[in-house]
Amino acid sequence: MLNYILKRLVYMIPTLIGMSIISFAIIQLPPGDYLTSLLSTLADGGAPIDPATVERLRSQYGLDQPIWIQYGKWMLGILTRGDFGFSFEWNQPVSEVIWSRMGSTLAISFAALLLVWAVSLPIGIYSAVRRNSIGDHVFTFFGFIGLAVPNFILALTLMYVSFRVFGQSVGGLFSPEYVDAPWSLEKLWDLILHLWIPILVIGMSGTAAMIRILRANLTDELSKPYVTTARAKGLPEYKVIVKYPVRIALNPFVSAIGWVLPELVSGVTITAIVLNLPTAGPLLLRALVAQDMYLAGSFILLLSVLTLVGMLVSDILLALLDPRIRYN
Amino acid sequence: MEKPVLSVENLSLDFHLRTHILHAVRDVSFDLHRGRTLALVGESGSGKSVTARSLMRIVDKPGVMVGGRIILRTQGREVDLAQLASNSPEVRAVRGARIGLIFQEPMSSLSPVHTIGSQIDEVIRLHSGMDKRAARARTVELLGQVEIPNPAEMADRYTFEFSGGMRQRAMIAMALAVNPDILIADEPTTALDVTTQAEILDLIKRLQTERGMAVLLITHDMGVVAEVADDVAVMRFGRIVETGTVDAIFHAPQHAYTQRLLASTLKLEQPADARAEAVITPQPLLTVKGLTKVYGGAKGFLGTKKFALKAVDDVSLVLHAGENLGVVGESGSGKTTLGRLILRIVEPTTGQVLYRQKDGTEIDVTALSKSDLRKFHADVRLIFQDPFASLNPRMTIRQIIGDPLVVEGKLKGKEIEEKVAELLRLVGLSPDVMERYPHAFSGGQRQRIGIARALALDPRIIIADEATSALDVSIRSQILDLLLEIQSRLDLSFIFISHDISVVRYFCDRVAVMHRGKLVEIGPAETICTSPSEDYTRALISAVPNPDPRNKRMLHRTRFSALSTST
Amino acid sequence: MTLTPILDAKLAEDGPAISGLKPGMDPISDAAAGQWTLIWRKFLKQKVALFCGGVILALYLIGAFAEFLAPGLPDTSRAQYTYAPPQSIGFFTPDGQFQLHVKGYKVEIDRAALRRTFVVDDSVIVPVGLFVEGSAYKFWGVFDTNRHLIGPLDPTQTMYLLGADRLGRDLLSRLIYGTRISMSIGLIGVCMSLFLGVVLGSISGYFGGWVDTVIQRIIEVVSAMPTIPLWLGLAAAIPLTWSPLNVYFVITIIVSLLGWTGLAREVRGRFFSLRNEDFVTAAKLDGSSERRVIFRHILPSLTSHILAVVTLAVPSMIIAETSLSFLGVGLKAPVVSWGVLLQDAQNIRSISTAPWLLIWPSLAVVIAVLSFNFFGDGLRDAADPYET
């Protein structure tokens, strides 16, 4: 088992390097280098430019050196000092801006993942066992809708509906009166009132996809001989299904996190922009529009790493669930 | 005689399929008696498996029971299972407790993610109400009874850690856990090697005698029937065409189908009459020298050394012109790999394959360039095991058989068509079928098409890899006769790879026996099949069921000591 | 289904017992039916997929004939009709005469909110006709005309069937023009994805070894990264000064850049499993060259699957474009796409005053995506007529 986890970790390294290269490429994409942007912003602000500072920054980020050295310096900074570069828009190091935003992104993604599981598991089982029943058709239809409606449209629609029905605006995480208030039960309730829409929106397409996966896998498993064996033992039908085929259909269900997670993180990004949530999304968009590239690139890198860690967790879960993987 | 423990009366089952209703079981009646074995025999599609499952009321959708009675007489009561709902508590109390079931594929019949022990514990606890520890103790005892070594430790292992034979033993332990009155064994040994088969059948017999169970054995193998059955019911297209004691069925069959089934089985118990004597020439057609194939062995990830497997280990043999050489062995013996090494579909690790061309010169196949290899492949052809996978479903019969001719480029348009027609006639098919696709043909017919394709380039050697294994016994002997007839007309040699010793005996002049990659013994077919000199071969041959209930061979078989560790 | 057996004949005195579901029903003989005939027959059985195929065709036709189908031009703005609500078509005028028409607006000032609101004015009838003359345009950039499928008989009058936006532009016309852009991005993007996938897939398959490994790892990396941040990062680098056409192509490229990985993976997986099929080994032993094996035996088995996978990839392209444009880093005005239209519905204020700005473009996106999904599913189910 330990060997297996180790193997997975080693296997992640090239993927990580690939992701960091892509993120760095995005930093480099806009015309002109980072310092020119910084200088022009500073100049716009009318602040005096200290040539010594410019020189120091130039050598710190290796801007006068070949691109791969710049990449090396950036990576070295991240790995040794946790230094992701400097955000000129915020006029502080990227690392100071980024972590609280990554925390809320992680929290919301995780909540959405829990929703995906909690909803798709029972529905998937129901749909496979009662294949082609009315309920199955209804769920399948909603599943298709869930896959077809882009996150941001769903967010806008729910925002409109909630505005019309409850007369409340749903942007942000808190109502204005609670933003600066100390934590209390009321504040928590207010948070939950604000959170259900984003979590529903983000989880929707993942849930729909997972239902389809579970339904397909479970349908396959239901016709396997070991199900007949379980039935021939004299087990009641629900036990036959839950203990054997469902248990085995869970494996692909768990490993599907691998691609559901990038989708969730994507969903969090765009939904947060629409609903104005304090996650990475709105800041990333702002940084990109303002061409604050170190901040933007760092967000992209960290969001990618987040999904990678999620995949590692799913690999480990899978190994726990399936002895065939654990023993190989 | 005591009343039967189970009586089936006029049972009928329908399958509502998308395009039609299949009457899978029609008016089937039989009795099961304590201590006796009833064999339900039939070829694929005869409805024997469905019949067995309906006794436990576990027929899958879309099967529907449309009539009949299933009277179970146990514990002094009579119940008609057919009257009860298939999921009623009464029926569930019968499943696993009064009737045990084992299947053909022990790997897929056991859950891959639960330990063997926990799967057996479950039955015990369900029906006897024992607590966890008592149930486990019983499980270990049962695993011991089915001769699994270290039962306490093995109970905590998973299915994939067991070998095929061990899995079937575990399955038997599970089926017998609550001392059922009836054991249904659905092709219990079909997926197993012949020596393992003998041991499993032995085990079932022994447990039956000890417990006085009734056994319903579902099988297609007349040899197995003769070895273990007391009574026989022959099924065909959903009906029982004949019932009787095993002696009556084998020695005085009444129904034409039973007679034919026996005839095709018995035919394979001796060498074919049609076989021409092969002339042993001093210059062999094909010489295999020290052929070896090693898989793995290289250093793996993180420096862990991977397990090296010698699939074929230093095999040398020769094939003479006009000769039929059989290669027999159990699964994992390397016989299929040997065939592929000769053709270089798989590259050999070391060794030589020398082939004598038409002009008398000898070439080393292992050293041929790509284009020369192609020429070699025109002379040495392969017939595949699976008649479904080996024909491209997207091409017509004309395209499939004509493809080698098109590639060869000697014939054009109309000539190719004429040649294909000729080949179709040669394999006993009408040339009218040329424009059809493979899906329009049965398994036996597809295998004929595969043979026609192999013959298209006028080959000199045909390697037949389990070419008849996927076919029912009556079709099997037809295909073998067809090959022999073609051989008598054309100048052909065969390398016939098979796990089925009777087929090889019928078809081949000489037989090579393989075991774990090594060539154990090679010699004339009759000698190998009647008085082999190696222990392994003797054990193998004596484990083959004999289709004569008056002369049960398997139960008096010799055992090869090295085998007991492998099963 | 089975042909008259020749040697098996002596066994066939009776067969399995079969009866038809309905009397007199005969299964169609398909003994001589090829792969595409079988696929087509299987596909025809899937009514939903068939219907969605029709919807997709209709959407592309709308895109192709946008100028003619739209009542007006997409960028004609009329300040006095800011957020004018949708009108519905009436058939009979109040005096009982048959005349297609819409009712005019009356503007009321809401004193409390200091807002103008539109109220339907029953007394103003704007007669509407089919094939009317309206604003002039160059059809397909080739010939000049001013015919529109539907519009007010008097070109100086206005008709807002789906309402108007902030600048008083006709949403219906804009939606129809947007169909052209959004639907074509899906199609072109998928073609590029396919091209990329095939090229890289072939390189991967042909060279094998480490080249294959590297390409596979790239696919892994790209598909493990969350798409929207990546798209944003790439799209934000497009200089603001570029022409709309250039932006259109770059956006298509960006969208397809991330789309090809899934495609490549699926095709590669199928390719490799086919390579180990017995019939492919048989083809090699028949003397076929590597090329012949691929083109004559493997590819024909793959094409139907590729077609299905490609169809199922279109919706993600459409969603990608819509999302990017909505966020303001994709297509920009004056180009009209569904995403650009949704940009007008970005905040709760505009949605609550003019919900149609959200409803109609969203509906268009959902219908397109849904149709492609159902259609692709149907194709996929029909793609392998030989599986049992």
How many whole angstroms separate alpha carbon C359 and alpha carbon C346? 12
C20 has a chain B CB within 8 A of its CB: yes
Structure tokens at C187: 């199609």
Q: Quick one: A36 and A165 in the same domain?
A: no
Examine the pLDDT at C304 and tell me if it is beyond 80. Answer: yes
Between B43 and B218, whose confidence is greater? B218
A165 to chain C: closest CA residue: C352
C171-207 vs C209-224: helix crossing angle, rounded to 10: 150
Instruction: Give the start-to-end residue ranges of the domains of chain B.
Output: 6-244, 286-545
Structure tokens at C338: 């569904």
DSSP class per residue in C319-372: HHHHHHHHHTSS--TTS--HHHHHHTT-SHHHHHH-THHHHHHHHHHHHHHHHH
- Using CB atoms, pick whichever of C218, C228, C365 lies closest to residue A153: C365
- Are B294 and B311 within 8 A, CB to CB? yes
Give C26's pLDDT tier (boundaries 50, 70, 90): very low
Structure tokens at A21: 């290269």
Residue A247, Cβ neighbours under 10 Å: how many? 17
Is A3 a member of any domain? no
How many whole angstroms separate alpha carbon A155 and alpha carbon A170? 10
Asked if domains B6-244 and B286-545 share a fold, the reply is yes
A293-321 vs A257-275: helix crossing angle, rounded to 10: 140
Which positions in chain A touch C327 (Cβ < 8 Å)? Answer: 152, 270, 273, 285
Is C319 a member of any domain? yes
CATH class of B286-545: alpha beta
Beta-strand relationship, B99-102 and B309-319: unpaired
Give B120's pLDDT tier (boundaries 50, 70, 90): very high
- Using CB atoms, pick whichever of B58, B126, B171 lies closest to residue A231: B58
What would the mean pLDDT of B235-255 be, rounded to a whole number?
92
Read off the pLDDT of residues B187-232 as tens digits, 9 standing for 90 and up: 998 888 888 899 899 999 999 999 999 999 999 999 999 999 999 9
How many separate domains does chain C show? 1
- Are C190 and C306 within 8 A, CB to CB? no
Q: Report helix, strand or coil for B396.
A: coil
Examine the pLDDT at C55 and tell me if it is beyond 90. Answer: yes
How many separate domains does chain A show? 2
Instruction: Of B65, B60, B49, B51, give the one whose Cα is nearest residue B13.
Output: B65
Q: Quick one: A160 and A224 in the same domain?
A: yes
Residue A54, Cβ neighbours under 10 Å: how many? 15
Residue A270: which domain range? 100-323
Helix (H) or strand (E) holding C142: none
Between B377 and A131, whose confidence is greater? B377
CB spacing of C236 vs A262 below 8 angstroms = no
Phi, psi of C129 (to 5 degrees): -140, 170
- Are B347 and B526 within 8 A, CB to CB? no
Chains that touch A (3 or more CB pairs under 8 A): B, C
Is C368 a member of any domain? yes
Structure tokens at C111: 């004193």
Is C152 a member of any domain? no
Helix (H) or strand (E) holding C181: helix C171-207
Say what the pLDDT of residue B564 is. Answer: 43
- Are B351 and B314 within 8 A, CB to CB? yes
Give the closest-approach CA distance of A139 to chain B in angstroms. Answer: 23
How many whole angstroms separate alpha carbon A208 and alpha carbon A146? 6
First to last CA, chain B: 39
CB spacing of B113 vs A321 below 8 angstroms = yes
Examine the pLDDT at B304 and tell me if it is beyond 70. Answer: no
Q: Quick one: A59 and A117 in the same domain?
A: no
Give the closest-approach CA distance of A68 to chain C in angstroms. Answer: 19
Q: Report helix, strand or coil for C277.
A: coil
Read off the pLDDT of residues C308-367 as tens digits, 9 standing for 90 and up: 888 888 998 899 899 989 988 888 878 899 999 998 888 778 888 888 889 999 999 999
Most confidently modeled range among A178-182, C88-92, C99-103, C310-314: C310-314
Secondary structure string (H, E, C) spanning B85-138 = CCCCHHHHHHECCCEEEECCCHHHHCCCCCEHHHHHHHHHHHHHCCCHHHHHHH
Say what the pLDDT of residue C114 is. Answer: 64
CB spacing of A232 vs B94 below 8 angstroms = no
Give the closest-approach CA distance of B192 to chain C in angstroms. Answer: 23
Beta bridge partners of B355: B286, B363
Say what the pLDDT of residue C151 is. Answer: 83
What superfamily in CATH does domain B6-244 come from?
P-loop containing nucleotide triphosphate hydrolases (3.40.50.300)
Residue C307: which domain range? 174-382
Q: Quick one: A182 and A211 in the same domain?
A: yes
Say what the pLDDT of residue C3 is. Answer: 35
Instruction: Of C223, C232, C233, C216, give the one whose Cα is nearest residue C268.
Output: C216
Helix (H) or strand (E) holding C207: helix C171-207
- Using CB atoms, pick whichever of B114, B122, B302 lies closest to residue A233: B122
Say what the pLDDT of residue B386 is. Answer: 87
CATH number of the domain within which A105 lies: 1.10.3720.10
What stretches of C140-211 adopt beta strand conformation (E)?
143-152
Number of cross-chain residue pairs from A and C with Cβ atoms under 8 Å apart: 139
Domain boundary residue, one of A82, A109, A132: A82
C320 to chain A: closest CA residue: A150
Beta bridge partners of B22: B15, C18
How many whole angstroms separate alpha carbon A260 and alpha carbon C157? 51
Is A94 a member of any domain? no
Phi-psi region of A13 (alpha: psi -120 to 50; beta: other; left: phi over 0): alpha
Is C318 a member of any domain? yes
Q: Quick one: A159 and A286 in the same domain?
A: yes
Q: Which of residues 45-64 of B touch C (CB under 8 A)?
A: 45
Give B298's pLDDT tier (boundaries 50, 70, 90): low
Beta-strand relationship, B63-74 and B6-16: antiparallel
B109 has a chain A CB within 8 A of its CB: yes
Cα–Cα–Cα angle for A38, A42, A48, rounded to 5 degrees: 130
Place of tokens 């629609």: A157
Is A95 a member of any domain? no
Structure tokens at B187: 């092709």
Read off the pLDDT of residues B333-356 as tens digits, 9 standing for 90 and up: 889 999 999 999 989 999 999 999
Q: Quick one: A45 and A146 in the same domain?
A: no
Instruction: Of C288, C240, C233, give the one whose Cα is nearest residue C257.
Output: C233
How many whole angstroms separate alpha carbon B57 and alpha carbon B54? 4
Is A328 a member of any domain? no
Say what the pLDDT of residue C27 is. Answer: 45
Place of tokens 């000129």: A88
Which of C278, C286, C303 would best serve as a mutation to test chain B binding (most B beta carbons within 10 A)?
A: C286
Which positions in chain B touch A322 (Cβ < 8 Å)? Answer: 112-113
How many whole angstroms separate alpha carbon A222 and alpha carbon A263? 29
How many whole angstroms separate alpha carbon A244 and alpha carbon B110? 10
C356-383 vs C35-44: helix crossing angle, rounded to 10: 140
How many whole angstroms separate alpha carbon C119 and alpha carbon C176? 26
- Are B265 and B222 within 8 A, CB to CB? yes
Examine the pLDDT at C176 and tell me if it is beyond 70. Answer: yes
Is A71 a member of any domain? yes
- Are B25 and C16 within 8 A, CB to CB? no
Say what the pLDDT of residue A56 is. Answer: 75
C360 to chain A: closest CA residue: A153
Is A87 a member of any domain? no
The amino acid present at C30, given as its one-letter code, is D
Please, what is the average pLDDT of chain C? Answer: 82
Say what the pLDDT of residue B565 is. Answer: 41
Give me the torsion for CA of B384, B389, B390, B392, rounded to 10°.
Answer: 180
Per-residue pLDDT of chain A (328 residues; tens, 9 = 90+): 788 888 888 888 988 999 999 998 888 887 766 666 666 666 666 666 677 777 777 777 667 778 888 888 888 888 888 888 877 777 788 888 888 888 888 888 888 988 998 999 999 999 999 888 899 999 988 888 888 898 889 988 888 888 888 776 666 777 777 777 787 888 888 888 788 888 888 888 889 888 988 998 999 899 888 999 999 999 998 899 999 999 888 888 888 777 788 888 888 888 888 888 888 888 888 888 887 888 888 888 988 888 888 888 888 888 888 888 777 6
User: What ipTM goes with this model?
Assistant: 0.83
How many whole angstroms separate alpha carbon A97 and alpha carbon A100? 7
Say what the pLDDT of residue C130 is. Answer: 82
Which of C47, C216, C221, C337 would best serve as a mutation to test chain A binding (most A beta carbons within 10 A)?
A: C221
C4 has a chain B CB within 8 A of its CB: yes
Helix (H) or strand (E) holding A178: none
What would the mean pLDDT of B450-462 be, rounded to a whole number?
93
C25 has a chain A CB within 8 A of its CB: no
Helices within chain A (DSSP H only):
2-28, 34-45, 51-60, 67-76, 94-129, 134-148, 151-166, 185-222, 225-232, 237-241, 247-255, 257-275, 280-289, 293-321, 323-326
Is C138 a member of any domain? no
Residue C45, Cβ neighbours under 10 Å: how many? 12
- Are B158 and A324 within 8 A, CB to CB? yes
- Are B102 and B219 within 8 A, CB to CB? no
Structure tokens at C277: 């099929």
Say what the pLDDT of residue B71 is. Answer: 93
Close Cβ partners of B565 (under 8 Å, ≥ 6 residues apart): none
- DSSP label at residue B305: B
- Are B433 and C3 within 8 A, CB to CB? yes
B110-139: burial string, b at 16+ Cβ within 10 Å, e else: bbbbbbbbbbbbbbbbbbeeeeeeebbebb
Is C311 a member of any domain? yes
Structure tokens at B545: 């069921």
CATH number of the domain within which C221 lies: 1.10.3720.10
